[in-house]
């Protein structure tokens, strides 16, 4: 017999009165779900349409998630996380545990089209299907139902309210299946700034906008990083996101690395302090939101990445591709790479203790395995995962592979699988090797088939009892992270509350303040800044050359405004020509040096490996290694990946030409250069032609204008060194921080770690003395 929530509540109250036990809960109706509010207990959210019943004990209400009519320990919110997880695992089949060990491929909400991130709805594209934006795609229904997957990575969402409604649909489906395990939704970082967007005090947005973590690090203030974590976690939970695939705490000791701008800089101590603050901010709940041990309804699991540090990539080539498979240690300095983990994310100030999950990087940590002598990707290395992470450093949280690590690959330069060191194995064999190494979860894998095949391989080698015990070990770790954040009690969201929370005016203001504190002033010759708001400014357009994106798709050549003219016009009068202007404002990006691999070089008889320049102009790598430290791939018949003697030019070399051309056009009038930096760069090509230089790591144009006009004083410091030339870049060690000869400008200032200017000159405060 089925009852509506109102009738069900009335029957429960009657039953409690008859048995002489007064009810200790009340009922409320949510957007598409019901709430049971236990007095001095947890609030339960459930969808009556999922088939879940409510049972009572001593006047309190509980969800009967496995629908057996009995209050099982895992359903009892009065018990601790460990007891609940252990009970639930004891009831799970191997197939259910295998599904728990999956983490979905990227899911757009909704998934439009049929491309890499597209999907079908009832067999049709989203556009053809008539589906609602919050509906589950066919693939999502399949992996939740048939593959027992419960960890979903979402990317773009149509709106915050759509995200909330999609969450409710996914939770309803999961709640009605098997043991009623809720969906743990995750996200990569999503709080970046839109340069063209305008900040208006008191106005909200889609989500608060902050500088990247490297920009927040430039504040040298861990409290700012913690504040970001606290705000971002509230917004994440309002979107349904309970796990952050962040922070990226790789130590940025290799200045050419393509993921440098996602890090917390190159200094071990500063990066450790920032990592600790970030994770504390995301994971900690307090007051009425706390459930147990600092965890609760405001908590977001932090999956720190990438163990044991993805920074020391040889030549700066990235591990998403086979040409960047190797991390090298010419300075024998793995110790510093581990610092942000062992003295940062694993040693928190807050009650949660340590980051709840870790992601190893794709790379082979070359010749670091002193026990098994294996050179395989980190996810396959028993030394890296079990001996080092688990045993030496005592980590017992979830270890999840990076996305696509078990996939097949055919060349070194295509965006495919990333099974470095085990390319010749089958997909199930790779799963088994990773499980044997200590991995709990597989990122980007929607199907449980290969995990089940790995289980059978383990049964053949170890016996069924031992393999089930191994799966249970991973399942308990994974379930802790779902229990701790309260998803078993209430995974549902009120879309109206989501809209109020995400991007609210208070959060937008805090993000904008963070942007202002992330801009570094490197030069201010003759104190041309701050500029009076009545001045006329000339802003040359910026040229974007044709090229290819991360996935190999062609991008068109175009010209763009370097800054939003509407924003600039609120501070200065825009001049059409240099002759009309009082000063020039040039907006550029740091040199785009490419990936370090060129198939054209291979076709001409080379090995395919080329330099990654940190300068704009033509560069010949005369000082590069004659023989690479690491090399070797089933797809190459050589091991020396040296690029010595090869010549390249940055993809955006026109940025340099724009600076020098503007200098010529302006004559003696001031030229102010603003650089969006993704990596350290050689400033000798543009600094002599600039009167003032600001650098940032992703902010709104308005933040730049506030500083240029003097509405705010610059206060940030460089979280990394700027090299004097490419020779020092080639000679530095990939694994050693702060080991380059720094650039010294025409004012005599060295662009070193912790350098920055304010209106009075070189900043020398407590931050500098603490970290430099």
Per residue in 11-66, pLDDT tens?
Answer: 444 333 333 467 788 999 877 899 999 999 999 999 999 999 999 999 999 999 99
From residue 125, give the alpha-carbon distance in Å to each of 118, 138, 139, 667: 8, 10, 12, 57
Higher pLDDT, 663 or 551: 663
Concatenate the DSSP letters of all residues of 251-314 into one string. Answer: ----TT-TTGGGS--S-HHHHHHHHHHHHHHHH---GGGEEETTEETT--EEEEEEET-S--BG
pLDDT category of residue 545 using cuts at 50, 70 and 90: confident
C-alpha dihedral, 659 to 665 to 670 to 672, nearest 10°:
-20
pLDDT for res 202: 61
pLDDT per position as a tens digit, 125-139: 999 999 999 999 999
CB contact set of 578 (below 8 Å; sequence gap of 6+): 538, 584, 662, 665, 666, 669
pLDDT category of residue 193 using cuts at 50, 70 and 90: confident
pLDDT per position as a tens digit, 506-520: 999 999 999 999 999
The average pLDDT across 324-346 equals 98
pLDDT value at 623 more than 90:
yes
The average pLDDT across 71-91 equals 98
pLDDT value at 611 more than 90:
yes
pLDDT value at 5 more than 70:
no
CB contact set of 76 (below 8 Å; sequence gap of 6+): 57, 62, 84
Higher pLDDT, 580 or 1: 580
Q: Return the ∠ at Cα 669 (arms to 667 and 672), rounded to 5°.
A: 110
Q: What is the distance between the alpha carbons of residues 361 and 707, in angstroms, rounded to a whole number?
A: 38
Q: Return the ∠ at Cα 771 (arms to 765 and 772), rounded to 5°.
A: 80
β pairing state of 757-758 and 761-762: antiparallel
Q: Are 719 and 752 in contact (CB under 8 A)?
A: no
Which of 523, 519, 521 has the alpha carbon at shortest distance from 745? 523
Q: Are 418 and 405 in contact (CB under 8 A)?
A: yes
Q: What is the distance between the alpha carbons of residues 465 and 680, in angstroms, rounded to a whole number?
A: 53
pLDDT for res 4: 34
pLDDT category of residue 198 using cuts at 50, 70 and 90: low
pLDDT for res 580: 97
pLDDT value at 375 more than 80:
yes
Q: What is the distance between the alpha carbons of residues 747 and 745, in angstroms, rounded to a whole number?
A: 5
From residue 327, give the alpha-carbon distance in Å to each of 259, 282, 286, 730: 13, 29, 40, 16
C-alpha dihedral, 672 to 673 to 674 to 676, nearest 10°:
180
pLDDT for res 471: 98
Q: What is the distance between the alpha carbons of residues 6 and 638, in angstroms, rounded to a whole number?
A: 72
Which of 705, 755, 697, 723 has the alpha carbon at shortest distance from 216? 697
pLDDT per position as a tens digit, 272-315: 999 999 999 999 999 999 999 999 999 999 999 999 999 999 99
The average pLDDT across 145-157 equals 97
Average pLDDT, the chain: 94
Q: What is the distance between the alpha carbons of residues 615 and 592, in angstroms, rounded to a whole number?
A: 8
This prediction's pTM: 0.95
The average pLDDT across 326-339 equals 98
pLDDT for res 200: 66
- Looking at the chain, the whole-number percentage of residues with pLDDT higher than 90 is 91
pLDDT category of residue 197 using cuts at 50, 70 and 90: confident
pLDDT value at 528 more than 50:
yes
pLDDT value at 603 more than 90:
yes
pLDDT category of residue 201 using cuts at 50, 70 and 90: low
pLDDT per position as a tens digit, 86-98: 999 999 999 999 9
- Report the length, in residues, of the chain: 772
Q: What is the distance between the alpha carbons of residues 178 and 201, in angstroms, rounded to a whole number?
A: 48
Q: Are 619 and 613 in contact (CB under 8 A)?
A: yes
Which two tokens mark 219?
């504040």
From residue 67, give the alpha-carbon distance in Å to each of 27, 80, 367: 20, 21, 52
pLDDT category of residue 530 using cuts at 50, 70 and 90: very high
R_g over Cα of the chain: 27
Concatenate the DSSP letters of all residues of 208-253 into one string. Answer: -----HHHHHTTT-HHHHHHHHHHHHHHHHHHTEEEE---B-----
pLDDT value at 537 more than 90:
yes
């Amino acid at each position: 017999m089925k009852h509506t929530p109102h009738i069900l509540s009335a029957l429960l109250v009657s039953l409690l009165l008859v048995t002489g036990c007064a009810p200790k809960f009340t009922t409320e109706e949510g957007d598409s779900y019901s709430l049971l509010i236990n007095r001095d207990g947890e609030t339960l959210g459930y969808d009556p349409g999922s088939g879940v019943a409510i049972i009572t004990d001593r006047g309190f209400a509980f969800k009967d998630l496995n629908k057996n009519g009995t209050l099982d320990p895992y359903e009892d919110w009065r018990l601790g996380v460990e007891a609940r997880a252990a009970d639930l695992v004891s009831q799970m089949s191997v197939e259910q545990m295998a599904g728990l060990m999956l983490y979905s491929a990227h899911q757009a909400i909704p998934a439009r089209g049929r491309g890499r991130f597209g999907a079908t709805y009832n067999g049709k594209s989203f556009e053809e299907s008539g589906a609602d934006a919050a509906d589950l795609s066919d693939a999502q229904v399949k992996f939740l139902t048939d593959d027992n997957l419960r960890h979903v990575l979402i990317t773009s969402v149509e709106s915050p309210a759509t995200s909330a409604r999609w969450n409710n649909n996914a939770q309803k489906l999961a709640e009605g299946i098997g043991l009623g395990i809720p969906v743990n939704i995750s996200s990569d970082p999503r709080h970046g700034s839109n340069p063209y967007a305008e900040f208006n005090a008191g106005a909200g947005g889609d989500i608060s906008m902050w500088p990247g973590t490297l920009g927040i690090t430039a504040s040298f203030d861990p409290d700012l990083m913690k504040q970001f974590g606290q705000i971002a976690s509230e917004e994440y939970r309002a979107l349904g996101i309970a796990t952050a695939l962040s922070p990226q705490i790789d130590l940025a000791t290799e200045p050419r690395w393509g993921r440098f701008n996602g890090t917390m800089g190159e200094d071990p101590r500063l990066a450790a302090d920032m990592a600790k603050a970030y994770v504390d901010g995301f994971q900690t709940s307090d007051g009425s939101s706390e459930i147990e041990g600092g965890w609760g309804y405001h908590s977001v699991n932090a999956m720190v990445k990438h163990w044991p540090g993805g920074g020391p990539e040889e030549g700066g080539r990235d591990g998403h591709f086979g040409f960047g498979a190797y991390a090298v240690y010419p300075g024998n300095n793995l110790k510093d790479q581990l610092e942000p983990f062992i003295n940062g994310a694993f040693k928190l100030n807050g009650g949660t203790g340590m980051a709840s999950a870790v992601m190893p990087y794709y790379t082979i940590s070359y010749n670091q395995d002193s026990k098994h002598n294996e050179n395989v990707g980190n996810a396959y290395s028993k030394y890296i995962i079990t001996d080092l992470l688990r045993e030496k450093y005592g980590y017992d949280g979830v270890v999840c592979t990076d996305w696509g690590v078990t996939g097949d690959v055919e060349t070194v330069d295509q965006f495919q699988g990333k099974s470095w060191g085990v390319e010749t194995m089958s997909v199930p064999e790779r799963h088994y090797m990773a499980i044997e190494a200590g991995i709990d979860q597989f990122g980007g894998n929607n199907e449980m088939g290969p995990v089940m095949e790995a289980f059978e391989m383990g049964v053949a080698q170890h016996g069924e009892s031992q393999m089930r015990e191994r799966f249970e070990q991973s399942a308990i770790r994974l379930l802790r992270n779902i229990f701790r954040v309260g998803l078993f009690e209430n995974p549902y969201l009120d879309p109206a509350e989501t809209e109020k929370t995400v991007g609210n005016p208070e959060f937008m203001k805090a993000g904008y303040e963070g942007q202002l504190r992330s801009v570094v002033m490197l030069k201010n010759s003759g104190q041309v800044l701050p500029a009076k708001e009545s001045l006329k400014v000339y802003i040359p357009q910026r040229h974007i050359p044709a090229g290819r994106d991360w996935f190999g798709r062609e991008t068109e050549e175009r010209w763009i405004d370097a800054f939003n003219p509407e924003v600039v016009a609120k501070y200065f009068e825009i001049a059409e020509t240099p002759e009309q202007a009082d000063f020039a404002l040039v907006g550029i990006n740091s040199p785009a040096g490419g990936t370090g691999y060129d198939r054209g070089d291979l076709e001409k008889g080379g090995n395919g490996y080329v330099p990654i320049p940190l300068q704009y102009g033509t560069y010949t790598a005369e000082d590069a290694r004659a023989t690479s430290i690491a090399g070797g791939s089933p797809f190459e018949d050589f091991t020396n990946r040296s690029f010595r003697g090869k010549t390249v030019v940055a993809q955006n070399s026109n940025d340099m030409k724009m600076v020098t051309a503007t200098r010529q056009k302006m004559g003696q009038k001031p030229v102010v250069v603003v650089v969006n930096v993704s990596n350290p760069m050689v400033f000798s090509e543009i600094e002599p032609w600039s009167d003032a230089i600001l650098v940032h790591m992703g902010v709104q144009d308005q933040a730049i204008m506030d500083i240029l006009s003097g509405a705010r004083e610059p206060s940030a410091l460089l979280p990394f060194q700027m090299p004097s030339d490419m020779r020092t870049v080639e000679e530095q060690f990939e694994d050693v921080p702060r080991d380059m000869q720094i650039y010294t400008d025409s004012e005599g200032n060295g662009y070193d770690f912790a350098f920055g200017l304010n209106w009075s000159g070189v900043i020398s405060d407590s931050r500098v003395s603490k970290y430099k």
